[in-house]
Chains A and B, each alone.
Chain A
Amino acid sequence: MSQRLRFSLQLGFTLLVCLFMIVPIAMSVMAGLTENYFQGLQSGLTLRWVSEVWALYSDTIWLSIKLAMACLVITTLIGVPAAYGLLRSRHRIAHAIEELLLLPVAVPGLATALALLLVYGSYREFRASWLFILIGHVLFTLPFMVRAVHSVMHTARLPLLEEAASSLGASPWQRFFGVVVPNCASGILAGALMVVTLSIGEFNITWMLHTPLTKTLPVGLADSYASMRLEVGSAYTLVFLLMIVPLLVMIQWAGKLTGPRR
């Protein structure tokens, strides 16, 4: 087989895989913007469905943003110290703790949600508030923050810097905020983007924990797929994509910033 032919065949195959990934997205975007999907494009382009989605579901979008921000604050406040603690612990202990914190990711969201309902579901006020969902999101996203910060701390030669700071008389508190945090800023950024993206897209835990008054964006999406016309579901998906794609672009960019050079 000649070099050229082989290249073309491989490229052709890769293009087919790309088509499989992109065609349904393109169809969904088109469906969300056409007047009548069953008649096709000749029925005309419109923003009618997008505005209908906004009227019906804007509160799910706001709740998702609120949850993601709260989740980000908590995972940062808890996760950065935890990564620091892992760095200073003995290797085996650190490994065991990391394995534990990873359990809510390793076990399906349904199981985590059922367990939460079992123990805390009877506290009516808590159960009905958005904080109940927040707990699930924090459990699910925390390992990603810890992992991102921990790996940057590893490469930043923190023990050396800290020793220098401490020999100059810095207290643990001063060392943490003056040396540790600034030196793992890129890890915090990468972790933060991961946390926000995952929280906005989280469905499995949220579906079990939500109430009619605490619907998030993905819960609303499932709702619209089941009960609304195809155009509305598509327009809603489009809104979701517009929120998530910039985050994904930023994650890639942050990955290039912190990750190994290619």
Chain B
Amino acid sequence: MSATLKQPFGAAFFDRHRCASHRAKLTTLIALVPALTLFAAFWLLPFSRLLLMGAEADRSSGVSAYLTLLTHRQYLISLATTVTLSLAVSVAAVAIAGFAGFFLARHRFAGQSLLVAILTFPLAFPGVVVGFLVIMLGGRQGALAQTSLWLFGERWVFAYSLFGLFIGYLYFSIPRVITTVMAACDNLDQSLEEAARSLGASHWRVMRDVIIPGIAPALLSTGAICFATSMGAFGTAFTLGTRLPILPLNIYGEFTNYANFAMAAALSVVLGLITWAALALARKLASNALGASV
């Protein structure tokens, strides 16, 4: 075939191809535009304003709210308390629910699916409801208060303290961990466990050397999600008491009680950075992790 004959055909083909690829790109763009417009107008623009607002003068100190946040004891204590509490909740939830989730994934028995249902359904409870459930457990009329009144003649109340928050955060963290751990155990190659066992490894050796390393990314990922969720949990804290030194409650207080918008903005941005980083880590470790605040 000569070059003169080949060229027009080739050009026409190339033209048509380019036209089609242009159209395909346009279709892709059109499909994405509504979501991106909404996001830009109602999240990106407002959040950028929030970022700038945090740099404005704090009402009481008169200097930039970001700077005030870093130099005032009150805010630093809140930050430290929130981080410590969230870390403690994450570790406890991963330990407790990791153990229960592994057990449920590896055994089949009558009523097993009922137990799984009980442990996972509270996943979608909003924070306010979880707060109320903590009141049911540890409030003035709660389960503990009634039991201790009956046994020792006095009411034991923990709901309205940091420990109450710990219990509440644990409550909404456990279902998250259970679902992740059960899925991770299902994906784990069981033959490894069998091999270890047939080589004479004890139950705990298998657990320590095979299972935990095998599901470690899932454990870390779900732990990071629990941490982020606990850091940002407003509903539970709001129900249990607005005087506790917790970042979400500080933000709410600065905004509604003191009209200190700069500080509310600065605290929100810092809190947002922390939760975003934790969730980004979680997604890096396990690609299907999404996380949701309560």
User: Contact at A104–B43, with CB atoms within 8 Å?
Assistant: yes
A–B complex contacts, Cβ < 8 Å, 5 sampled: A25-B122, A119-B45, A218-B235, A230-B141, A248-B123
User: Contact at B125–A14, with CB atoms within 8 Å?
Assistant: no
User: Contact at A135–B128, with CB atoms within 8 Å?
Assistant: no
**Chain B positions 258-290 with a Cβ under 8 Å from a chain A Cβ:** 261, 264-265, 268-269, 271-272, 275-276, 279-280, 288, 290
Alpha-carbon gap, A6 to B49, bound state (A): 57
Per-residue 0/1 for A74-96: is the Cβ within 8 Å of any B Cβ (1 yes, 0 no)?
00011101101110110000000
For the complex, is B234 an interface residue (Cβ under 8 Å from A)?
A: yes
Alpha-carbon gap, A101 to B34, bound state (A): 12
User: Contact at B136–A31, with CB atoms within 8 Å?
Assistant: yes
For the complex, is A147 an interface residue (Cβ under 8 Å from B)?
A: yes
For the complex, is B133 an interface residue (Cβ under 8 Å from A)?
A: yes
User: Contact at A204–B127, with CB atoms within 8 Å?
Assistant: yes
Across the interface, name the chain A residue whose C-beta is closest to B51. Answer: A115
Segment among A43-51, A52-60, A65-73, A138-146 that sits at the interface with chain B: A138-146
User: Contact at B49–A221, with CB atoms within 8 Å?
Assistant: no
Q: Given the complex, which residues of A lie within 8 Å of B186, measured CB to CB?
A: 262
Alpha-carbon gap, A262 to B42, bound state (A): 40
Alpha-carbon gap, A109 to B128, bound state (A): 14
User: Contact at B128–A110, with CB atoms within 8 Å?
Assistant: no
Q: Given the complex, which residues of A lie within 8 Å of B203, measured CB to CB?
A: 1, 6
User: Contact at B239–A108, with CB atoms within 8 Å?
Assistant: no
For the complex, is A187 an interface residue (Cβ under 8 Å from B)?
A: no
User: Contact at B248–A110, with CB atoms within 8 Å?
Assistant: yes
User: Contact at A225–B131, with CB atoms within 8 Å?
Assistant: yes
Q: Given the complex, which residues of B lie within 8 Å of A119, measured CB to CB?
A: 45-46, 49
Across the interface, name the chain B residue whose C-beta is closest to A245. Answer: B121
Interface residues of chain A, those whose CB is within 8 Å of chain B, are: 1, 6-7, 10-11, 13-15, 17-18, 20-25, 27-28, 31, 37-38, 77-79, 81-82, 84-86, 88-89, 97, 100-112, 114-116, 118-120, 135, 138-139, 142-144, 146-147, 151, 172, 197-198, 201-204, 207-208, 218, 221-222, 225-226, 230, 233, 237, 240, 244-245, 247-248, 251-252, 262
User: Contact at B42–A18, with CB atoms within 8 Å?
Assistant: no
User: Contact at A78–B35, with CB atoms within 8 Å?
Assistant: yes
Q: Given the complex, which residues of A lie within 8 Å of B39, measured CB to CB?
A: 100-101, 104, 139, 142
**Contacts A1-B203, A108-B234: A17 and B128 contacting too (C-beta < 8 A)?**
no
Of listed B27, B126, B143, residue having the most chain A CB within 10 A: B126
> How far does the Cβ of A127 sit from chain B's closest Cβ, in whole Å?
13
**Contacts A13-B99, A218-B126: A110 and B46 contacting too (C-beta < 8 A)?**
no
Per-residue 0/1 for B102-143: is the Cβ within 8 Å of any A Cβ (1 yes, 0 no)?
011001010000010111011111111101111111000111
User: Contact at A207–B234, with CB atoms within 8 Å?
Assistant: yes
User: Contact at B268–A114, with CB atoms within 8 Å?
Assistant: yes
User: Contact at A233–B49, with CB atoms within 8 Å?
Assistant: no
User: Contact at A21–B174, with CB atoms within 8 Å?
Assistant: yes
**Contacts A108-B271, A203-B234: A135 and B132 contacting too (C-beta < 8 A)?**
no
Of listed B44, B46, B103, residue having the most chain A CB within 10 A: B46
User: Contact at B35–A107, with CB atoms within 8 Å?
Assistant: no
A/B pair count, beta carbons within 8 Å: 245
Alpha-carbon gap, A13 to B203, bound state (A): 17
> How far does the Cβ of A191 sit from chain B's closest Cβ, in whole Å?
12
Alpha-carbon gap, A247 to B121, bound state (A): 10
Q: Given the complex, which residues of A lie within 8 Å of B264, measured CB to CB?
A: 114
Alpha-carbon gap, A23 to B265, bound state (A): 39
Alpha-carbon gap, A108 to B276, bound state (A): 9
Q: Given the complex, which residues of A lie within 8 Å of B53, measured CB to CB?
A: 118
> How far does the Cβ of A148 sit from chain B's closest Cβ, in whole Å?
10
Q: Given the complex, which residues of B lie within 8 Å of A204, measured CB to CB?
A: 127, 232, 234-235, 248, 293-294
Across the interface, name the chain B residue whose C-beta is closest to A247. Answer: B124
**Chain B positions 2-37 with a Cβ under 8 Å from a chain A Cβ:** 23-24, 27-32, 34-36
User: Contact at A27–B143, with CB atoms within 8 Å?
Assistant: yes
Q: Given the complex, which residues of B lie within 8 Å of A244, measured CB to CB?
A: 124-125
Across the interface, name the chain B residue whose C-beta is closest to A120. Answer: B46
For the complex, is B252 an interface residue (Cβ under 8 Å from A)?
A: yes
For the complex, is B228 an interface residue (Cβ under 8 Å from A)?
A: yes
Q: Given the complex, which residues of B lie within 8 Å of A201, measured CB to CB?
A: 124-126, 129
**Contacts A106-B228, A203-B234: A81 and B127 contacting too (C-beta < 8 A)?**
no
**Contacts A14-B103, A14-B115, A18-B118: A106 and B31 contacting too (C-beta < 8 A)?**
no
